[in-house]
Structure 1
Amino acid sequence: MINELSKKAPEYTDSAVKLLSELISFKSVMGEPRENMPYGKECADCLAFAAKTLSEDGFKVRNFDNHAITADFGEGEAELGILCHLDVVPTEGQEWHSDPFKAEVREGRVYGRGAIDDKGPAAAVITAMRMIRDSGIKLRRNFRLILGSNEENGSADMEYYTKKEKFPPMLFTPDGSFPVINIEKGMIRLGISGSYTSGNKALLSLKGGSVANAVPERAEAIVSGFEAEEIVEIFKDYELSGIILAVEKYDNHTVRIKAKGKGAHASTPEQGKNALTALITLLSKLPFDGDISEKLAALSGLYPYGDSEGKGIGVSCSDELSGALTLVLSLADCHDGKISFMTDCRFPVCRRSSDLIPVMTEKLTQAGLSGNASLVSEPHHADENSEMIKTLLSVYEDCTGKKGKCIAIGGGTYVHDTENGVAFGAEWSDENNMHGANEFIGIDELTKDIEIYCKAILRLCM
């Protein structure tokens, strides 16, 4: 019976694509808080749409003050929780081939912001719920879909939710990849601040990146006291692989320098080309007045272009369970003599944040800068021998014919700060442009997700 129902997923694909398209239409990037809209109007509107949809589908819906909503399949305490998020990262500075907030279906894919992270997976879970509802199958255990709206900016939504409700004892999120992610690296967001002096030859501004948890695809600087041709001549000996550079006259007295690389998620920075660290390397070669050249050279030494493992700042490490530490200089906003950067560090289970933060801050102090940790999360490790994990792995094997196994990632999925939660899908490869331009989910993959989540719910709750 379970196999027969889950195999009906293709009959529901069109409705899943329609639902996903509707979810994508909400620009649910974190915005300014409003009354009863803690993460901005678009995030609240997206939650409201999902709540209305699920309620009309016959599920019992609760709204937790627009931090999150829940939809229960049955009655009583939920024993299984499925956790998805409807907020997304910004698209500014990215080159999309279509409107990122208007789903476009082409070549067997659905393109749009959130298609893979995490609106597509949420649509797959909701569609699986509809399949089970339509079948008339009675579940022995209740399960609960939890939809949040602040995963991309620290998961304050779940902090609020868990003050009101406990997570069910079994919990998974389709906010990762298959087969099962049971280990997630720890995370440190470290802000860097300082000041610099200048004269006629000055750095007027340096900006790069749009979010803390991504390799910056673009960076831009405006300088004075130089001619564009002079800068091109200085830069000619410093070719950086994967970076496209543009130097142009900005106005009568200034020059704009733009660097374009390749965006990537901060957990897999080796897949990107960091435009910000590349531009810092080049700017450090310019003979500015004051001490900014010295500060930039120090930063370039601590965060050299091409270093994604924290070697420059002295925190490189790895272990067999979770792999190597990764480190990204992800944001910059320097102007008027003020220095401001943000870094994103993902560290393996063999380390604690207390091992790393003092090393980084000391190195920054030596460079005449200050470091301050704004977000700290220790590594997450769920027991791979739990019954839930064993069941999820068997579902994966049944649906794919491939061997199921637990894997570790660079942190963090939506269950990072839970006790025993794991990530179960929904990514099948790293080629979906998550957090980058032209993010997509394959329609065949979406169909397979529906099948897998339908079978997982049934196996865990019947």
Structure 2
Amino acid sequence: MRPALLLLAAACASAPRPQPERSRLGPLLLEAIRFPTVEGNEQARLDQQQWLLRTAQSLGLTARDAGPVTEIELPGPAGAPVLGLVVHGDVQPVDEKQWTVPPFAGIERDGVVYGRGAADDKGPLVQALLAMHAIRDLPRRHTVRLLVGSDEESGSTDMKTYLASHEPPTYSLVLDSAFPVVVGEKAWDGLAVLPADMAPGAGKPWIIEEIDAGLAPSIVPDRARLTLRWREGAPAWEDLEQRIRARSPAPGTRLEIARRGPLLDLVVQGRAAHAGVNVEGGRNALVSLARLVAGELPDCAMADLVAFAAHAGGDLKGAALGLDGVAEPGWDGWTVNVATLKKEPRLGDKLALVINLRRPPPLTGPQSREQLYAEVRKFSPRLVPGEIYFRDEPLVFDSSAKIVRRLMDAYARATGERPSPVVSGGGTYAKRIPNAIAFGMWFPGKPYPGHDSDEKIEVADLQRGLDVLVETLRDLAGGPPLQDPFRP
């Protein structure tokens, strides 16, 4: 560490910390986790919103029900510009069988909080509430307004609805990514691949009965199941079992085989991870299963679909799909997650393989779709490409912009460290709200646990992130308004 940063770190270590707020982080986060705010659970959303209104009031903050968004405010002088903090209160779905702790119980053990949303994004929600409380007696030249969205994980229509009747903040920090500040967000693409028909095919004494793999596009699949049915007569699975067991599952995955009369279940267990931020930390059960059954399925379109899953999952950067090298410098290429293979509600419950891609410049959404569709058609005429989503574009900021420099400086004062700005594969509300940029709350050098089974966050990281946010609010909310904050 450079001498200047050593002095800075020493100064930060002796600076007063928001101790009362630090002690409340864990208990408040446990409360928030206990609302199972997955897509479709409207009662949980409403219950959490009422909890937010009560909690904000208890912290001396102003709170308002703004429909799909909850507004929580620390007022500044009359007519002051508004500094926004933006988080989401909804979470990714869970497969409880893959967890070792109940995902919505809210459990703290040995200084670690476990539960869906602990990192993404209820931890930052609680940090924002307590940071606003910590600066309530400091002089302010801004109003600080926290916006809590409710469907970021399943469409982000909440912010569009909110902005139709509410003015956005003057500028906003989106607390749903990485420190020290995110200067680029890749685009979110969703490719569907469907079999042209469901004919059982020929060439094997068994047929494909059912395929079910993965939870959601943004999660590396941690479980994949393929069920085969013996066509006629007494089943004789021994030779097939022996051949499949002789193959090695992908590292970090394991194979389970079970017979059920005429049925044979092939199940691979892997490890979930965030598809945009920590795909390399996952262990893709679907790709592993597809490789294990290569050459063992009847000659049919469904077999081609399974084979395409193995093909597309050949690497995490899209080389198998012709995407290697199709990226501007500094973006670390594409990120590819072979995510689900099951009946897809967005496609009329048809069987579909869904691949989530995080796209860097220069390709646009339509260009990406055209290239990927061509790859599917080239692989097999029995496969049909389809669209889940190709309407997103990368978000880019100037690394020398005023707000970037201020955020970097605040982070350095609070931590004694000055890492470089980052590019992220995780999309945030910064794409949905004018004049917004992602800032934290995950620290560099640690695998991101959002979307994982047994999602967790260390209380020490919650406290450290709170310190960074308090210092940032002290600086930005207490300082003069930024003119052209997104320009140098």
TM superposition score normalised by structure 1: 0.90
The correspondence of residues 358-397 of structure 1 with structure 2, limited to 5 A, is 358-366=370-378, 367=380, 368-375=382-389, 376-397=391-412
Which residue of structure 2 aligns with residue 29 of structure 1?
38
Equivalent of 1:59 in 50, 61, 84: 61
1:318 aligns with 2:327: yes
8 A contact 1:215–1:329 mirrored in 2: yes
Partners in 2 of 1:57 and 1:236 — Cα distance?
Answer: 58
Measured against aligned partners, the alpha-carbon deviations of 1:7-26 in whole angstroms (never above 9, x if no partner) come to 33233222121111110110
Partners in 2 of 1:15 and 1:256 — Cα distance?
Answer: 47
Which residue of structure 1 aligns with residue 194 of structure 2?
193
8 A contact 2:12–2:416 mirrored in 1: no
State the AA in 2 paired with 1:29: V
State the AA in 2 paired with 1:373: E
Q: CA deviation at 1:58?
A: 2.9
Q: Secondary structure at the match of 1:90?
A: coil
State the AA in 1 paired with 2:388: S
8 A contact 2:309–2:338 mirrored in 1: no
Q: CA deviation at 1:106?
A: 1.5
Aligned positions, number: 447
Would the alpha carbon gap of residues 285 and 12 (structure 1) be closer, same or farther in structure 2, given more than 3 Å must change? same
Which residue of structure 2 aligns with residue 401 of structure 1?
416
Partners in 1 of 2:54 and 2:333 — Cα distance?
Answer: 43
Which residue of structure 1 aligns with residue 369 of structure 2?
357
Which residue of structure 1 aligns with residue 48 of structure 2?
46
Q: Secondary structure at the match of 1:318?
A: coil
Would the alpha carbon gap of residues 7 and 404 (structure 1) be closer, same or farther in structure 2, given more than 3 Å must change? farther
State the AA in 1 paired with 2:446: D
Would the alpha carbon gap of residues 452 and 441 (structure 1) be closer, same or farther in structure 2, given more than 3 Å must change? same
Partners in 2 of 1:294 and 1:383 — Cα distance?
Answer: 44
8 A contact 2:286–2:309 mirrored in 1: no
Q: CA deviation at 1:93?
A: 5.3
1:421 aligns with 2:436: yes
Partners in 2 of 1:150 and 1:292 — Cα distance?
Answer: 33
Would the alpha carbon gap of residues 78 and 6 (structure 1) be closer, same or farther in structure 2, given more than 3 Å must change? farther
Which residue of structure 1 aligns with residue 215 of structure 2?
210
Counting aligned pairs with the same residue, the percent is 25
Which residue of structure 2 aligns with residue 458 of structure 1?
474
Partners in 1 of 2:343 and 2:93 — Cα distance?
Answer: 21
Which residue of structure 2 aligns with residue 36 of structure 1?
none
Equivalent of 1:448 in 459, 464, 483: 464
Partners in 1 of 2:161 and 2:286 — Cα distance?
Answer: 35
8 A contact 1:96–1:438 mirrored in 2: yes
8 A contact 1:310–1:327 mirrored in 2: yes
Which residue of structure 1 aligns with residue 482 of structure 2?
none
TM superposition score normalised by structure 2: 0.86
Structure 1 gaps of 5+ residues are 33-39
State the AA in 1 paired with 2:368: L
Partners in 2 of 1:405 and 1:420 — Cα distance?
Answer: 21
Partners in 1 of 2:403 and 2:97 — Cα distance?
Answer: 39
Which residue of structure 1 aligns with residue 255 of structure 2?
245
Would the alpha carbon gap of residues 289 and 224 (structure 1) be closer, same or farther in structure 2, given more than 3 Å must change? farther
State the AA in 2 paired with 1:215: V
Which residue of structure 1 aligns with residue 173 of structure 2?
172
Measured against aligned partners, the alpha-carbon deviations of 1:302-359 in whole angstroms (never above 9, x if no partner) come to x14x411122222233332211101111011159x95312111101122222221101
1:296 aligns with 2:323: no
Which residue of structure 1 aligns with residue 296 of structure 2?
286
Partners in 2 of 1:187 and 1:459 — Cα distance?
Answer: 33
Partners in 1 of 2:12 and 2:168 — Cα distance?
Answer: 28
| RMSD of aligned Cα (Å) | 2.4
Measured against aligned partners, the alpha-carbon deviations of 1:221-245 in whole angstroms (never above 9, x if no partner) come to 1111164433222214431322200
